[in-house]
Chain A
């Protein structure tokens, strides 16, 4: 069994604060540009695609599939699985796959959001479904 890993609380800033406030309520937010329609992650106030400032917060489903991953074998805190997952809504993001055996992890594997506590807002992770 893996010990519960301790994660640092996000520092947050005025631009990202709504994300972390929602995280405390268990809501996983992405940003969508209302000018070009494209969603993105991590959230910015100005759309990284069309550069419009008309971006809006949107709650994401937390459903995703693994784009790629790597098991880090050499780590002072024990092995862990880093990955990029692609959200059902479109954007891909960096995360860890947690709370499942490493042999459950593969490209194309369906995963879902899980929150891990910190001393501040919780952090989003994913686990195999």
Chain B
């Protein structure tokens, strides 16, 4: 069985806020749900599937009740939690549920307020006594990946900086972007060192906010007014140090999720017109581009340099909303916004300055957790019908 072409993204919404001290987290979930339902042209009572990751206060029971979802109708729920890529996995799982007839209109929400200082707690794993004291954070866990990548492949800080430069070129056209200023390679290199070799401008923004999408059947999508965008391939994977054998931090679980998605979709990286690539840090983008097959392992630095990721300039336009590096990284989780900008591109609704002409095939890919420690990856291939 395949999910190819079985599920359509009929509604999308990205909350315009980047700082929401005046709102509750549950409220933000409700606002993005409302936005996505209205974008699709549906109503709340049409929802019969709900997908919620660890950012939902209290989990599924409280959120289903708070939102007032129709519990006579709601027949499929999924609380898969894989950090920032949860929403890419939710999209794949929603397609599976739709293909199996378990639901027909699935809602996926993400929201939270890390910038205001509210973050959901994270439960300890079996490794806690053997790792907690060493202070692994997002910054230094990704820093360790970058350090080894530079050692093994000669990747440079200048090459990493080009990723931020490309994101900033796109963010200048996004009125909601947190950072709208176009920056140069020198700006990135001159920004303070946070966790060697990553500078402040190698890091994504911290924002309050959220996003949501509606995933539905072909029949329902075709009855609505939005351009048709469907999922044609999905992959998911996990990676960790696994007892410390053959440790290699220069690749991500994307080496497994990517080929699974491309195989299901029946397309190759060369066919992709637009790429949403998770950008918690510049190194995240570089490693994932290699892992997904956009270039050979170790050649990511050369691939991203000289504006190759800038829409209208380079060969692979990426994160045309400004991405997590410049626009939005709600709840420190960038998977939802990766899907939303891919859908905008496929609908032809991206900003005219960054819209990819005839964009009919896109990828949205992300990681969740800590790339240098334990993480998940998910790849979605999307097509305009």
Contacts and interface: CB of A to CB of B under 8 A. Distances in A.
Interface of A: 7-8, 10-13, 16, 20, 38, 40-42, 44, 48-49, 67-75, 80, 82-84, 86-87, 90-96, 107, 123
B317 to A, nearest CB: 30
B189 interface: no
6 contacts: A16-B130, A42-B126, A67-B148, A70-B197, A72-B139, A94-B241
Given A68-B147, A70-B197, A82-B135, 14 more contacts: A8-B133, A11-B129, A12-B129, A41-B130, A67-B148, A68-B148, A68-B249, A70-B144, A70-B198, A72-B140, A74-B139, A93-B130, A94-B130, A96-B133
Closest 9 CB pairs of A and B: A91-B244, A70-B143, A40-B243, A42-B130, A10-B129, A92-B247, A68-B148, A70-B140, A48-B243
Interface string B181-223: 0000000000011111110000000000000000000000000
B140 to A, nearest CB: 4
A84 B144 contact: yes
A100 B144 CA distance: 19
A96 B194 contact: no
Contacts of B241: 84, 92-94
A36 B303 CA distance: 41
Contacts of A11: 128-129
A121 to B, nearest CB: 9
B243 A49 contact: yes
Nearest to B142: A70
Nearest to B193: A73
B69 interface: no
Nearest to B139: A72
B135 A84 contact: no
Interface in B240-285: 241-245, 247, 249
Which of B141, B144, B151, B243 gathers most chain A CB within 10 Å?
B243
B195 A72 contact: yes
A18 B95 CA distance: 47
Contacts of A87: 244
Contact of B244 (A41, A68, A123): A41
- Centre residue among A68, A69, A95 by max chain B CB count within 10 A: A68
A91 B128 CA distance: 18
A41 B129 CA distance: 12
B242 to A, nearest CB: 6
Contacts of A96: 133-135
B118 interface: no
B244 A70 contact: no
Interface in B22-43: none
Contacts of A74: 139, 194-195
Contact of B245 (A38, A71, A95): A38
B286 to A, nearest CB: 15
